[in-house]
């Protein structure tokens, strides 16, 4: 069975500091992708970053990077130089490519950036 675990329901970070949001996953499919999404309080969903299971390097997109540790089945999101606008819910998700291509989402982590 596929599962995403996000163990931090809520986190606080000081503005301009870096923060790591944890995500662990479980799958038996060797071919999968890992996604992070941001949902501000306004409700829209924003795609942040993607990591494929066969990618050799960790994905980066601006201030976002994904710390992919395949053996540990973890895909943590690192946000550098936090900004007040980073306050939001963050969801980790996985897509299996060999078993129906279903997406599975974690419960989310609420990040609050303090001034």
Partner 1 sequence: DSGVTQTPKHLITATGQRVTLRCSPRSGDLSVYWYQQSLDQGLQFLIQYYNGEERAKGNILERFSAQQFPDLHSELNLSSLELGDSALYFCASSVGSGLEYNEQFFGPGTRLTVL
Binding site for partner 1 (CB under 8 A): 31, 33, 35, 43-47, 50, 52, 91, 93, 97, 100-105, 107-108
CB of 43: closest distance to partner 1 in angstroms?
A: 6
Question: Which residue number, 15 or 105, has a Cβ lying nearer to partner 1?
Answer: 105
Its sign, for the CA torsion 51, 65, 26, 5, is negative
Exposure of 114 by Cβ count < 10 A (0-12 exposed, 13-18 middle, 19+ buried)? exposed
* Cβ proximity to partner 1, 43 vs 62, nearer residue: 43
DSSP states of 38-53: EE-TT---EEEEEEET
When the beta carbons of 52 and 73 are compared against partner 1, the nearer one is 52
Distance in Å, CB of 104 to partner 1, minimum: 8
- Rg (alpha carbons) of the chain, rounded to whole number: 14
């Amino acid at each position: 069975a596929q599962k995403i675990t996000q163990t931090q329901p809520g986190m606080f970070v000081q503005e301009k500091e870096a923060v790591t949001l944890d995500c662990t996953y479980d799958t038996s499919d060797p071919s999968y992708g890992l996604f992070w999404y941001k949902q501000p309080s306004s409700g829209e969903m924003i795609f942040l970053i993607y990591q494929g299971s066969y990618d050799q390097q960790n994905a980066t997109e601006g201030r976002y990077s994904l710390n992919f540790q395949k053996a540990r089945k973890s895909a943590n999101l690192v946000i550098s130089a936090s900004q007040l606008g980073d306050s939001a819910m963050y969801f980790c998700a996985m897509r299996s490519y060999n078993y129906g291509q279903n997406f599975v989402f974690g419960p989310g982590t609420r990040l609050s950036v303090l001034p």
